[in-house]
Structure 1
Amino acid sequence: MPRRRRPRRDREGRQSARGWLLRGLGTNLLTPKVGLFYVSFLPQFIPANVNVIAFSTLLAAIHAGLTLPWFVLLISATRPFAGALGRPAVTRTLDGITGTVLIGFGLRLALLPHAR
């Protein structure tokens, strides 16, 4: 059985940026939802008379190019809150708020009059 390598860590014991990047890339590539997205969503934007593989690769590159700055912005904006978000009380509160909102959406959807 192959031995799993531990992620590289810096002097303070935190995982390196490269380690996080590889971890995220591996998770993304092994998630079936990502493959299903590309197989179901992107074909509608491929013109009839083009190389399908090349154009699909171009669309995937555009998607990655748009997603990367968004994640950099999201990580940069939330990094100052990382300490607070790691506390159990804050996590419980946020879970309660999001759970309440989702239940509210579900109730609203369930109580809508159905078109016949």
Structure 2
Amino acid sequence: MTLLSLLAFAGLCLLLSVTPGPDTFLVLRIALNRASAGVAAAAGSASAAVVWAGLVGLGLAAILEQSAEVFRWVKIAGGIYLVYLGVSSFLKTRKAARAGMKEGADAPLPYSRWAGFGAGALSTLLNPKVGLFYLAVVPQFIPHGGNTFGTAMILGAVEAVIAFSYLTAVAVVAYKAMTWLRRPKVNSAMERASSGIITVLGVGVLASGAAS
């Protein structure tokens, strides 16, 4: 495998990473409350990507492509897990609200680092599109007669590094944005702006009613 081939594969991985998917939104959701948990989720997703590369190297991913039934059940499992993540996040938000959190106080952390890592790993492991990506693309970069498993693992490591870097950036930016929005001055400005907009709308309604 030449350097040019490796760069071409890295370019494909970058395109895959920047395309919004379940992993991106999961990391974004987790990082809103704790940046380190979001980074851990990114690490979990990257680690699971290496596992998929290993499956391709061993030829196991071929079974996923050839068996529509297996593919269907993996999709169902992935969908159920994503629904679980969404529902559990909603319930945790309601629980925090009922606990009477004060504005500006430290909110309970829905995810620990280990929980974030596990969520990221499972999200990627249960996403058959990741396996199909490796199954369709990785073999094109494996030299004929070469070490299939070793080459697949190298390519998997490249994809994992790129994905981790991108998802980590997403986690940090998301957390910084939430931190900025929670600042008293910013919060006050937003409240004033929203109050002003509501007032203007109210005046418009009154004016329209008086003219009719």
> TM-score band, normalised by the shorter chain?
0.5 to 0.7
Give per-residue Cα distances to partners, 1:60-87, cap 9 Å, x unaligned.
1111012111111111012133486xxx
Residue segments in structure 2 that go unaligned for 5+ positions in a row: 1-87, 89-106, 182-212
Query: Is residue 38 from structure 1 mapped to residue 97 from structure 2 by the alignment?
Result: no
Q: Which has the larger Rg?
A: 2
Residue 150 of structure 2: aligned partner: 54
Residue 65 of structure 1: aligned partner: 161
The structure richer in helix per residue is 2
Residue 177 of structure 2: aligned partner: 81
Q: CA deviation at 1:12?
A: 2.8
CA distance in structure 2 between the partners assigned to 1:76 and 1:33 by the alignment = 26
Amino acid at match of 1:23: A
TM-score relative to the length of structure 1: 0.57
CA distance in structure 1 between the partners assigned to 2:153 and 2:178 by the alignment = 35
Q: CA deviation at 1:17?
A: 1.5
Residue segments in structure 1 that go unaligned for 5+ positions in a row: 1-5, 85-116
CA distance in structure 2 between the partners assigned to 1:50 and 1:23 by the alignment = 35
Q: CA deviation at 1:13?
A: 4.4
Q: Which has the higher contact order (CA 8 A, sep 6+)?
A: 2
Structural mapping, 1:88-107, within 5 Å: none
Change (3 A) 1:13 1:70: closer
Give per-residue Cα distances to partners, 1:9-65, cap 9 Å, x unaligned.
xx9342101101111101101111011010001111111131111111110111101
Across the two proteins, how many residue pairs are aligned to each other? 75
Residue 106 of structure 1: aligned partner: none
